[in-house]
Amino acid sequence: MENLTRDQLKELIKESIREVLKEEGIQIKSNNENPILNQKIKSLNLSPMVLNAFTVNKIYIVADLIKISRKRLNGFRNIGKKGIEEIELKLKELDLELLD
């Protein structure tokens, strides 16, 4: 092999792993496929009460949020029916949704 930079070598290894997994019928999805998932929750322009509830419950990015069910969200302090509706509406705008 030629002299590869560290980044080139990392990318080559990642691609090789993807090919092997694909041959085995395994597909890996990464957050890089949808950059929205890496957005901070604050960027969604939700109400302060909802944002505070997310901070208390350690939900910082959209990827964290879509891993939560409506039922669990309902148990968060200061998130009621209207808060959940607000969250679902914002996620729908992004073509995302909460877990069932």
CB 19 within 8 A of CB 9: no
Q: Residues with Cβ < 8 Å from 37, sequence gap 6 or more?
A: 31, 61, 62, 63, 66
Percentage of residues in the chain having pLDDT higher than 90 = 52
pLDDT at 34 over 60: yes
**Residue at 47: amino acid letter:** S
Tokens 């980044």, located at residue: 7
* Low-confidence winner among 6-10, 26-30, 33-37, 43-47 (lowest mean pLDDT): 26-30
pLDDT at 72 over 70: yes
Q: What mean pLDDT is predicted for residues 69-81?
A: 91
Following DSSP, what letter does each residue of 43-61 receive, concatenated? GG---HHHHHHHHHTT--B
